[in-house]
Amino acid sequence: MSSSEGPAGVGGWVGLRRVGDSTVWTLAIASVTGGTAVLASWVAGRGSTRAARVQAEIAARAQRAERLRESRRAAYLDLIEQTHRMGELYWEILAVLRNGAGSAGGAGGAGGAGDPDGAGDIAQALKELHDREITEYAKIRRCARVVELEGPPEAAAAALALQRTTGTFYRCVKAAMEGDADAREEFRTAFSPFWAALEDFVEAARTAHQAG
């Protein structure tokens, strides 16, 4: 047996093998550790990206909700303001109807047959007010339609109900222009449902705005 094959040679080979094994394990552990770090970094990166995306979506939804809330609020206020303008116009019409005893050219009252000039003035005043009524009705109709589009359904229904109450005023003015003596009283009693419908709408609008 040569010296390289003796105990010393065998021991040296074993020692080299152990050193080699140790190096392999060290490299393996380093590789695993490095891979784990890379994986952790990748997972963390994906988590951060997902979190950022979620935050962006939440912010976008909040912005959309706020824009909807503000557009609804503007629509509600427009309808309320237009309703008050209509109410003021109706008071003007009622004053003319009272002066004309409910008729543009009928008998009796300040605009009766004994006062043809007064009757002509009443008729002209009613015609002008009626023209204004048509113009203002177009505005309140538009406001109600905008509320209908903006929603929610409860506010939309209240807006359309409010718009419909103006129909009685319109019919009464037409009737008064045609000499209907009962038109004035019917016109006067139309105020109660008109203002009640406005109150209903205001309540529906307030509820919708607070919920939004």
Q: What is the pLDDT of residues 110-158, one digit of tens each?
A: 344 445 556 788 899 999 999 999 999 999 999 999 999 999 999 999 9
CB 205 within 8 A of CB 162: no
Length of the chain: 212
Which pLDDT band, with edges at 50, 70 and 90, does 174 fall under?
A: very high
Q: Look at residue 109 and tell me whether its pLDDT is greater than 60.
A: no
Which pLDDT band, with edges at 50, 70 and 90, does 107 fall under?
A: very low
Q: How many CB atoms lie within 10 A of CB 1?
A: 7
Which pLDDT band, with edges at 50, 70 and 90, does 102 fall under?
A: very low
Q: What's the rounded Cα separation, in Å, for the pair 208 and 212?
A: 6
Q: Look at residue 39 and tell me whether its pLDDT is greater than 60.
A: yes
Write out the H or E segment, with its range, that includes residue 209. helix 191-211
Hunting for tokens 């009626």 — which residue is that? 130
Q: How far is CA 183 from CA 88, 126, 171, 174, 190, in A?
A: 18, 13, 8, 9, 11
Measured torsion, CA atoms of residues 94, 99, 103, 104, in degrees rounded to the nearest 10: -100
Q: What's the rounded Cα separation, in Å, for the pair 182 and 175?
A: 8
Q: Look at residue 188 and tell me whether its pLDDT is greater than 90.
A: yes
Hunting for tokens 């000039």 — which residue is that? 117
* pLDDT for 111: 42
Rg, Å, the chain Cα set: 43
Which pLDDT band, with edges at 50, 70 and 90, does 48 fall under?
A: confident
CB 96 within 8 A of CB 188: no
Which pLDDT band, with edges at 50, 70 and 90, does 161 fall under?
A: very high
Q: Look at residue 10 and tell me whether its pLDDT is greater than 80.
A: no
* Average of per-residue pLDDT values in the chain: 82
pTM: 0.69
Q: Look at residue 86 and tell me whether its pLDDT is greater than 60.
A: yes
Which pLDDT band, with edges at 50, 70 and 90, does 49 fall under?
A: confident
Which pLDDT band, with edges at 50, 70 and 90, does 98 fall under?
A: very high
Q: What's the rounded Cα separation, in Å, for the pair 192 and 181?
A: 21
Which pLDDT band, with edges at 50, 70 and 90, does 106 fall under?
A: very low
Write out the two tokens for 50: 């997902």
Measured torsion, CA atoms of residues 9, 11, 13, 17, in degrees rounded to the nearest 10: 180
Write out the two tokens for 36: 């784990």
* pLDDT for 34: 63
Q: Which of 127, 55, 58 is nearest to 96 (CA)?
A: 127
* pLDDT for 171: 97
